[in-house]
């Protein structure tokens, strides 16, 4: 990437900051509605990202599936045994008692056992190491349903996978939108692979950074890398 492209990215960061991204908010915020556009710049490397980050410590957040870990082996091994409309219901309250039992059984098994099959992403390790070395505060926020009753298995597994100590337990939003969870923790930069990660970050006034999704992901939605005016990390599929 040449200096002109890097300057465009720096300008993009300034736009996010002056529009309110990177500032603290305590109110309940919806995800942003952002029209798709052509990518504004080429994807950046880790080294270029270092030059774009503030010189002072910041609060950063990470998605889990397809951002920090490649979790298709876990989902693909377990998901066929459960109906999609039960494990990702449009309305949890409408589930029967038996269906709710199935719902929690799936997510408990995924979080507590099957996620051992997931593979830590190289980019996840590089980003965690970068921000820990900078002295940044790190939150990990997943949209998964949490284990019932709660355990620390997910947090401890990620610490083992990446050889790090996380300053906070992993937050699981129980399939809810991440926007208020990002805002509540005063996160100023948020990494994610999905369009909903990007819009949640912007809605929470955080700067979004896209991690590319593996082509072998279990996820069915189509990510629009760079088309939501976000920074994209190059070579970040694995």
Quick: pLDDT tens for 97-150: 999 999 999 999 999 999 999 999 999 999 999 999 999 999 999 999 999 999
Active site residue 63: yes
Instruction: Give this prediction's pTM.
Output: 0.87
Catalytic residue among 63, 193, 195, 225: 63
Quick: pLDDT tens for 26-79: 445 667 678 888 886 789 999 999 999 999 999 999 999 999 999 999 999 999
Active site residue 115: no
User: Is the domain covering 3-86+113-233 a CATH 3.40.50.800 domain?
Assistant: no
Average pLDDT value over all residues in the chain: 90
Quick: pLDDT tens for 146-180: 999 999 999 999 999 999 999 999 999 999 999 99
121-124 contacts at long range (C-beta below 8 A, 24 or more positions apart): 121/67, 121/68, 121/69, 121/70, 121/211, 121/236, 121/238, 122/238, 123/46, 123/211, 123/233, 123/235, 123/236, 123/237, 123/238, 124/62, 124/67, 124/68, 124/69, 124/162, 124/211
């Amino acid at each position: 990437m040449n200096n002109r492209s890097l300057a465009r990215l720096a300008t993009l960061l300034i736009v996010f900051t002056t529009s309110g991204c990177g500032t603290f908010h305590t109110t309940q915020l919806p995800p942003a509605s952002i029209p798709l556009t052509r990518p504004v710049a080429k994807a950046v490397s880790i080294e270029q990202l270092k030059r774009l980050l503030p010189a002072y410590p910041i609060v950063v957040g990470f998605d889990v599936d397809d951002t920090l870990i490649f979790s298709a082996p876990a989902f693909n091994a377990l998901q066929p045994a459960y109906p999609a409309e039960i494990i990702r219901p449009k309305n949890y309250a409408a589930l029967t008692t038996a269906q709710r039992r199935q719902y929690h059984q799936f997510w408990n098994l995924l979080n507590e056992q099957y996620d051992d099959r997931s593979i830590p992403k190289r980019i996840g390790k590089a980003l965690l190491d970068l921000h820990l070395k900078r002295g940044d505060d790190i939150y990990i926020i997943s949209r998964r349903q949490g284990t019932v009753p709660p355990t620390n298995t997910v947090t401890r597994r990620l610490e083992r996978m990446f050889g790090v100590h996380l300053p906070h337990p992993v937050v699981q939003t129980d399939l809810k939108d991440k926007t208020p969870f990002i805002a509540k923790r005063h996160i100023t930069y948020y990494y994610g692979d999905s369009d909903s990660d990007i819009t949640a970050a912007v809605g929470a006034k955080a700067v979004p950074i896209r991690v590319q999704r593996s082509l072998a992901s279990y996820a069915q939605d189509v990510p629009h890398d760079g088309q939501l005016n976000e920074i994209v990390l190059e070579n970040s599929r694995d």
